[in-house]
Every structure is written in C-alpha cells, then in structure tokens.
Chain A
Amino acid sequence: MPEAAVVRRYRAERRLLPALATGFLLLLCALFAFPFLWMIMATFKANPQIFSPFPLLPEEFNFRHYRSLLLGEWIPYPRQFLNSLWIASAQTALAVGLSAAAGFVFAKHAFPGRRLLFALAVLVVLIPRQVMVLPLFTWMNDLKLLDGPWSVIWPGAVSGIGVIYFTQVCKRLPDELMDMARSEGASEYRVFLAILPLIKPALIAYGLIHFITAWHEHLIPLVMLSSPQQMTAGVALSSLYGSSLRIPYGLLMAGSAMTVAPTALLYLLVQRHFKSSLAELTLQ
C-alpha cells in the first residue's frame, strides 16, 4: 500500500534527520574544542613534547607550570590576574551603567542636539582604536593616571556600540510605564532605575560582551601600563614570548588556560539569560 510506504519513509526521516544533525554538530564541536584541549594538555608537558602532535595526552599530569605561574617565578601572575579582573569588572560596570543611561536618554527624551550627539556616538564606533591610542595616552599622562588601572578603565568606560545598542533597546520600552512611574512620584533618575529590570537581559548580554572584550584588551594596557606589577594578565603572558631564548610554552599555556577560565565561567553562569529576551517587555 503506497500510504503505508509514505508513513514508513516519514518515520525513517524523523529518526534519521536528528541523528545526522547531532553528528554534524559533534564534528563542529570537536573542531572548536581541539585547540582548547591541546592548550590544556600542553600545560602538563615539557617543550619537546608540546610540539609533537601525538600523543595528545601528557605522560603524567604534572602541575609544575601552574605552580611556577602562581608562585610568580617568571612574572607576578597572581597580581596581574587580579589587575585584569579589577580593570575588566570596573570597566564593564561603568560601560553598562553609562551606556544604558545614555541610551535611555537618547531613546526617550527629546532635547536640542540629540541627533548630533547620537551621530557622534556612531562616529566613535567608526574610529579605530589604534587612532585614539596616542591622544588617550597624552590625556592619561596629563591626568597622572599612567601605569595605573584607571588609565585602562576610563578609555573603555564609554562605548559607542553600547550607546547605540541601549538606545535601540530603550526605544522598545513602553512609554506608559514611564509616565505611570512619573505620576506615581518618580524623578527622572528614579524612572531610569525603575525600568532597568525590564532591560535586564540586555544589560547582562552587553555586560558579558564588554567584560570579554575588556578582559582580552591588548593595545590599551600595553600602551598605558609599564611596570609588571600593574600589567594585565594577557599582556604579561605575551611578554613571555620574548623573555628568554627558551620560551616556556607549558607555562604560557597554563597562563592562557587560567586567563580564559574567567570568561568561560562567566559565560556559563549567565548564558541562560541570553535565552530570555526583550520579548518579555511586550508580554503585558
């Protein structure tokens, strides 16, 4: 019977397609995971073994590279790790707060010069970092902030992308909610605070992206910071390349693994918030 054949084929398809998709995704996963796996395995190996591709597994799980890194034998890594953490966190907090506030004002308030200011925010995005490094350096010099965390925090504390992003996000906020808050007795500042929970997914998403960018920022700390005690982890690690004739690859990989860890951890913590979206806003 032809109908039975159709049903059989449909059933087979329904079983086969997910299997194929899963297989393909597994392949992709392996492709992306391999460099990380290689990096982690390398942290347990000595230089000669690192560069022979097989075996991937080390002979023994020896934590000497980690120990040497944490004891600060080559570079003051623990201190630098904390520097990175402080700089990225402070910059993220500032960038999220300032961008959200600016976006809210751009989206919901009419004032003279709004279009011009918004155009400037867009322009900031278009200008490459490299162009701004020198003026930023002289500013930080004038402000006596060089070789300190704030010389790296301030240049990233406001971002054009953030302003544009939050302007779009805030445009979707219902006006009635803000009007209600105003007539219930809220000041404009309080209205802003009251709507923040409504854009929580956006705040988290942007905060995460900014944190990762700030964490991996290379150029600005390289220019602004000079002493090893003030250096960020990423820049300090890269300086190990030229540190001696015998580049400590295992140590470098251990440092890289530890440097990647916070961003990966953070992503795992907040990823469920990515799923919720602004659609919640229109729910009511």
Chain B
Amino acid sequence: MPRLKLEGLSKVYPGGVKALDAFTLDIREREFIAVVGPSGCGKSTLLRMIAGLDEASGGSILLDGRELAGLPPRDRDIAIMFQNYALFPHMTVAENMSFGLKLRKTPRPEIEARVAEAARMLGIGDLLGRFPGEMSGGQRQRAALGRAILRRPKVFLFDEPLSNLDAKMRAQMRVEISRLHQTLDSTMIFVTHDQVEAMTMGDRVVVLKDGIIQQAADPDTLYRDPANAFVAAFIGSPGMNLFPGRIAEVTGGCAFVHPLFTWKLPDPVRSRVTGYQGRDILFGIRPEDIGSAEAWRLEGAPRLKAVIGVVERLGGQACLYMQAEVHEGLVTTSGNPGEIAFAARPDGAAGWQAGKALELPIDSRKAKFFDPASGFAIS
C-alpha cells in the first residue's frame, strides 16, 4: 500500500481557473518526490491541498488508507515548510520549534528532549535561544526544518523552501535536506520551480504544467526519455533543442528535413516515424549531443552550420548559444527574426568566441522525435 495516494485531485478556483486537474500519484513510504514546474502550474496548490490548507474541488487524498479530504490541517499528521520559513518573530528558535508540540500538550521533558535532538541533527544547538531576526536565512531554514522534524509527521511538505537562500546556501541545504530524508526515513514532497533542486533531490520527479502531470519519473529517465516536448525543453539547462521539420522521401530512403540540416534516417528510426511520412515533426537533441566527441566520431552525422551568439563559460566546458538565419534555402548568419536559435555544449572549451561561425555534428543516435501537435514523444 502506498503511503500517500492522490487520486484525481483537482482544484478549480471560483472564476473557473483550473489550478490542478485530475492529479493522480501513488507515493511510496520513504519516497522523496520533487514536483517541478513553471510558476502558476499548480504545484503550491497541490501541497496546500495535501496539508489541508486549501480544500480540493475533487478527488481524494489517502494517507495510509485514511481519507484526508475534509479533515482540518491539525488532524492530518503532515508538516509543511514554507519559502519564508514562517517563524514567529517574537519567539526564540526553541519556542518556535516546540510550537506544535505545545499545542498538542506534549509533556515538557519530552518537548525538551526532542528539541535537543532535532537541534543536534541540524547543528543549531547554540541558536536555540535566538530570535529569528537575529539569524541568517540558512539558520532560519534550519529552525523551520527543526520544527517540522519535532512533530515526527508521516509526510513532510516543502513549498519552495530554498528560494530565498543564496546559491551557496541553497546547495548546502539541498544536501542537508537529502541527508535528513535518509536519516528520518520519511516521505517527503518537495515543490520547486528550480529543476536542479528537483533533479538532485527527488527519487522521483513530477513535472507539472497547467495543473496537469506531464511526466512522473526518476531523474535519469526524465532526462533521457522525456514523455513530451514540454518536459524535454523544461528539464536540463538549457533544455533540449527542438527543431521543427518534416519527414520526407529522399533517394534510397527517408530523411528528416530541416532548413539547417538533413538527416537520412537509419532503418530502426525510420520504422518509428513511418506514420509521419510527409508530415511535420519535432526533432529533439540535447545541447551536449551537439559537437560532442561521439558526434565527431559518428559517421554521416548531420551537421549544423551556425554562428556563436553568446558563450557561457562553465569552467572546463562552455555552453554556446548559436544562431542561424534561413533565407530561401540559403543559410546566412545574422541575428534577425526568422533566425533559428539553439544551444550546444561541444566538448573542449578552447577558442569559442561570439561571432565565430561553426559547423557542429549532431550525435543523431541520441535524437528524439515529438509530435508537433500533441507534443508527445514518438517511440
């Protein structure tokens, strides 16, 4: 039995705005679920409904088989952590942490023991007497975490808890939360708009858009086999390049034709796209598969001719934002509208410069095809 079973969960706000549409997901015990999506995709609404802060318009939430819909937040055995930490400014860290336990009339010695234990776990033992106003963002985040741990809830919910931290602190807290997840052996749902957070922390990542699950899978699968064009473009930084083109008949077979390049399809690929003969299709390729060492070695790899627009140096590697303009079958290289832009992460970092013209091979074995209308992956 899953720990948390979400079935057909939906939320329609007055005025008809659909924040969440038939959200169905089984969450195992001790699983770390990361929910990621652009702002307004319904991810915070999802958490608020699980916590009981918002009422669902439909569907059910089962925690260990018990229906939660209609129960007030205090009877759900779920802790939620917010972006702004939600610490009372007039209470010390220890008082903030024990707030929930005091409400539940836990005996004083036990509260003290649990506060001490959580503080030790989070390394904030010497901050217990401080007020939130006297602490840094990371310390406040730890205090808020401590409060959640203290109650030993069945499920932890995180609503973008790291968004207010600086980059270094964020990386540190990511590790800390992951470690906490292992120590506590608990179920966690982590909502974020930052795909790096989602990919690095989640056992399973749920990509959400317009209130609908696009894909729920482990990070590797999500990256390697995106279920649709949205997931492909959303995951990865930068995301997968999508080239709209068509499948056309050429001498001796079939090819994907795009103004920048033509790729004669090998047989296994060809059989996958037979239904798209003569029709539009989306060709997807990750930036690191353009100009990679394997691509250079690959015989007959399609080549992209374009000009470097921007070089993003990442130390050891560079990300190139390329542009090319198509002019009646002739590829020119200016930055005008009608241009084709894509990102590439070729191997080797030397010599890249904005304005330089390049010809880069595509590792076509890694290519994905998507239906241009529905966005679904073709496999």
Q: Is B90 an interface residue (CB 8 A)?
A: yes
**Cα(A194)–Cα(B140), bound, Å:** 19
- CB–CB B103/A190 < 8 A: yes
**Smallest distance from the beta carbon of B165 to chain A beta carbons, Å?**
14
Does A198 contact B84, Cβ atoms closer than 8 Å? no
> Does B104 sit within 8 A of A, measured CB to CB?
yes
Whether a CB of chain A sits under 8 angstroms from the CB of B53 is yes
A177 to B82, CA, bound (A): 9
Proximity string of chain B (19-57) to chain A, C-beta cutoff 8 Å, 1 when within and 0 when not:
000000000000000000000000000001001110000
Judge whether A179 and B80 touch: CB under 8 Å. Answer: yes
A198 CB contacts on chain B under 8 angstroms: 88-90
A182 adjacent to B53 (CB under 8 Å): yes
Given the interface pairs A183-B78, A185-B100, the reply to whether A283 lies near B86 with Cβ below 8 Å is: no
Interchain CB contact under 8 A, A184 and B89: no
Q: Known contacts being A185-B103, A198-B90, is A284 close to B73, with CB within 8 Å?
A: no
Count contacts on A: residues with CB < 8 A to the other chain: 21
Complex Cα spacing A187 to B103, Å: 9
A182 touching B133 by the CB < 8 A rule?
Answer: no
Residue of A176, A181, A183, A283 with highest tally of chain B CB at under 10 A: A183
The residue of chain A having its C-beta at the shortest distance from the C-beta of B137 within the complex is A284
> What is the CA–CA distance of A197 and B96 in the complex, to the nearest angstrom?
13
Cβ of A82 under 8 Å from chain B = no
Q: What CA separation (Å) do A283 and B84 show in the bound complex?
A: 11
By the criterion CB–CB under 8 Å, are A185 and B89 in contact?
Answer: no
Say if the beta carbon of B285 comes within 8 Å of chain A.
no
Q: How far is the CA of A198 from the CA of B96 in the complex (A)?
A: 14
B278 contacts chain A at the CB level, 8 A cutoff: no
Q: Are B86 and A176 in contact (CB under 8 A)?
A: yes
The distance in angstroms between the C-alpha atoms of A284 and B83, with both chains bound, is: 11
In the complex, what residue of chain A is closest to B76 when comparing beta carbons?
A: A183
A19 located at the interface, meaning its Cβ lies under 8 Å from any Cβ of chain B in the complex: no
| Number of CB contacts from chain A to chain B under 8 A | 69
Residues on the B chain within 8 Å of A281, using CB: 89
A242 to chain B, nearest CB (A): 52
Name the one of A177, A183, A190 contacting B80, with C-beta atoms under 8 angstroms. A183
Number of interface residues of B (CB under 8 A): 29
In the complex, the chain A residue whose C-beta lies closest to that of B100 is A184
B65 nearest CB across to chain A (Å): 21
- Proximity string of chain B (85-112) to chain A, C-beta cutoff 8 Å, 1 when within and 0 when not: 1111110000000011001100000000
A194 CB to nearest B CB, Å: 7
In-complex Cβ contact of B73 among A174, A177, A182, A194 (8 A): A182
Alpha-carbon gap, A184 to B88, bound state (A): 13
Query: In this complex, what residue of A is CB-closest to B133?
Result: A283
Whether A186 and B103, one on each chain, are in contact in the complex, defined by CB atoms closer than 8 angstroms, is yes
- Residue in contact with A181 in the complex, picked from B48, B85, B89, B99, CB distance below 8 Å: B99
Return chain A residues, CB-CB under 8 Å to B72: 182, 187
Cβ-neighbour of A284 out of B51, B76, B89, B100 (below 8 A): B89
A contact patch SS: helix
What residue in chain A is nearest B135 (Cβ atoms)?
A284
Q: Is B79 in the interface zone, CB < 8 Å from A?
A: yes
List B residues 104-135 near A (Cβ within 8 Å): 104, 132-133
Within 8 Å of chain B (Cβ to Cβ): is A73? no
Residues of chain A from 138 to 185 with CB closer than 8 A to chain B in the complex? 174, 176-177, 179-185
Q: How far is the CB of B204 from chain A (nearest CB, A)?
A: 23
CB neighbours of A3 from chain B (8 A): none
Say yes or no for B5: interface residue by CB 8 A criterion: no
Give the residue of B84, B103, B132, B140 whose beta carbon is less than 8 angstroms from that of A184.
B103
Contact call B90/A186, Cβ cutoff below 8 A: no
CB–CB A180/B74 < 8 A: no
Interface contact A187-B74, CB-CB below 8 Å = yes
Residues of B within 8 A of A186 (CB): 74, 103
- Which B residue sits closest to A180, measured CB to CB? B86
A184:B151 contact, CB within 8 angstroms: yes
List the A side residues contacting B48 at CB < 8 Å: 179
Q: How far is the CB of A173 from chain B (nearest CB, A)?
A: 11
- The reply to whether the CB of B147 lies closer than 8 angstroms to some CB of chain A is yes
> Which A residues lie within 8 Å of B83 (CB)?
176
Bound-state Cα–Cα, A202 to B79, Å: 31
Which residues on the A side are within 8 Å of B76 (C-beta)?
183
A280 at interface, CB cutoff 8 A: yes
Q: In the assembled complex, which residues on chain B have CB atoms less than 8 Å from the CB atom of A181? A: 99
Can you list 13 contacts pairing A with B, beta carbon distance less than 8 Å? A176-B82, A176-B86, A177-B86, A179-B53, A180-B80, A180-B82, A181-B99, A182-B52, A182-B73, A185-B74, A280-B89, A284-B87, A284-B140
List chain A positions with a Cβ less than 8 A from chain B. 174, 176-177, 179-187, 190, 194, 197-198, 200, 280-281, 283-284
Nearest 8 Cβ contacts at the A-B interface:
A184-B100, A180-B86, A185-B74, A185-B103, A176-B82, A183-B73, A176-B86, A182-B73
Q: A187-B74, A194-B88, A284-B132 are in contact. List 18 more A-B contacts (CB 8 A).
A: A177-B86, A179-B48, A179-B53, A179-B80, A179-B86, A180-B80, A182-B52, A182-B74, A183-B53, A183-B73, A184-B79, A185-B103, A186-B74, A187-B72, A197-B88, A198-B89, A200-B90, A284-B87
